[in-house]
Structure 1
């Protein structure tokens, strides 16, 4: 009986190893596909910001540290020029957050362009759910005392709560998760699992990246 049990155990172990090897090969194949997408998108593109953000939140950025590092360095070097030119709240806030997240001490003064003469956020952004959501996430990367980020957090959190009932389902999930636990406090495997579920419901998701993130998550789960 002992020999039979040991034999069965070894067979199961061998089978698992074969599965792991096959999955690892498939992971490498898909990794190359994602890398091609990442490298092909220009550094100055807003799509590059969105792609890097998705890669990080899906928990697979450790596969692309060199490529992401080069992109963020470029964004840092051209930060003032790009922010002065951009009038899209989402793009400005996302660039700011990704750079602060990476440790770059970029200025938050760029958010002043979205504030009117009375010191309130402009009417023109009141219905920009994605922009306000990014502003909310960016505000959590305040260092020291930065008045504009304090104001941004108060405005964005209260505004998102009031807008939540009227937001489409996929965006609603993102907003509700953010209000419960912002990105700065949620860069964990649990956060990754939740974001995979939300990301796949987003009509604009990248299927190549989503497939890779799911496979990577499953392999990591098996290893641990």
Structure 2
């Protein structure tokens, strides 16, 4: 009744299209819902401004451009086969075992400071609740940003995590003075605030962790 596509696209597009769609056709199966996990990287850089599902797609990275193509291909297949395909654009994902708390414990916490830079993020549990909300209300061709309520500078998140752990806050590392990898520089080249208003309004989606503060506190309390 439902199919969730989580695999990243490659140079030739989404590999799942070549396996899932023929299998569905052969089995004469028509699931009520197909979800495709995409990325907010499809928007590219907006110089800190808000982006919405209707904003132009200006992907700057190869990976972002591939996601734009994969979203398009899945929508076209959905229309052609009469399937309900919904895309979910995700920002940085964190959760137990994957957060600023873990980087600090591993001695890898850094406060890279680039003035005006913000990132949106989402706790793993809130991705799950967003998908479940969509399953209850399938919308063919739907597109939703799943992110929390507060885009924030990454150094603020690291400082808050250090406070929770009671460890020293890592020193500021000015962005322009660091020998950053090309991948990290590409990551910091995109600056935007991602709106979750549509998912809340259309799906009745409620965040468990509306900001990184609630999310990090819950992770710490869980002992993970």
User: Which TM-score bucket, shorter chain as reference?
Assistant: under 0.3
More helix by share: 1
Q: Higher strand share goes to which structure? A: 2
